[in-house]
Amino acid sequence: MNETTLLYVMTAFVIISAIALCVQAGMLAGIYKTTKLLQQKIDPLVPKVESLVERANSTVEQSGRQITEITARANDILDSTKRQLAIVEEVVGDAAVRAKVQMERVELVLDDTLSRAHETVALVHDGIMRPLREINGIAVGIRAALNALGRGDRPTVDQATSDEEMFI
């Protein structure tokens, strides 16, 4: 390759590079102009955004305090509930023990009452019913004897029936 050709090629590349730099400079100028316009539009919004950020921060802080208060109250309520539940469990346990003791006492009283009633029935049976039956048996025997004596006509052996023969 000779020097002239090389010089033309280099000149062409320098021209292409110069055009590329000009295009880049134009684009950079466009970006600068757009950025300035955007900055002019954003500048009035900055104070509003800052106040909004401050409000958001204060709201977050208030919410944090309220959540802390609610959590503390919930923990207090939970602790109180646990204490009351322990008291209720103690009362229920005590009531169950007392009910059991009372049921045992009732059972003892009932057993004692039933045994006394049984003894009373046995005494009535032995003291009243047995003598009444004995007196009734004696009265029946006396009545049968009086009937037998009062009839005077005793059957003879000849007149005995088959049933009476078995007992003779």
**What is the mean predicted confidence (pLDDT) over 21-48?**
93
Task: Give the pTM.
Answer: 0.40
Report, in this order, helix, strand and coil percent for the chain, each rounded to 5: 90, 0, 10
Q: What pLDDT is stored for residue 166 in this prediction?
A: 55
CA 30/CA 34 separation, integer angstroms = 6
* For range 138-146, the mean pLDDT: 86
Higher-confidence position of 148 and 168: 148
Q: What percentage of the chain exceeds 70 in pLDDT?
A: 89
Q: What is the pLDDT of residues 49-79, one digit of tens each?
A: 899 999 999 999 999 999 999 999 999 999 9
**Mean pLDDT, the chain, integer:** 87
Tokens of 3: 């020097």
User: What's the pLDDT tens digit per position in 79-99?
Assistant: 999 999 999 999 999 999 999
> What pLDDT band is residue 134 in, cutting at 50, 70 and 90?
confident
Distances in Å between the Cα of 17 and the Cα atoms of 10, 13, 25, 80 are: 10, 6, 12, 83
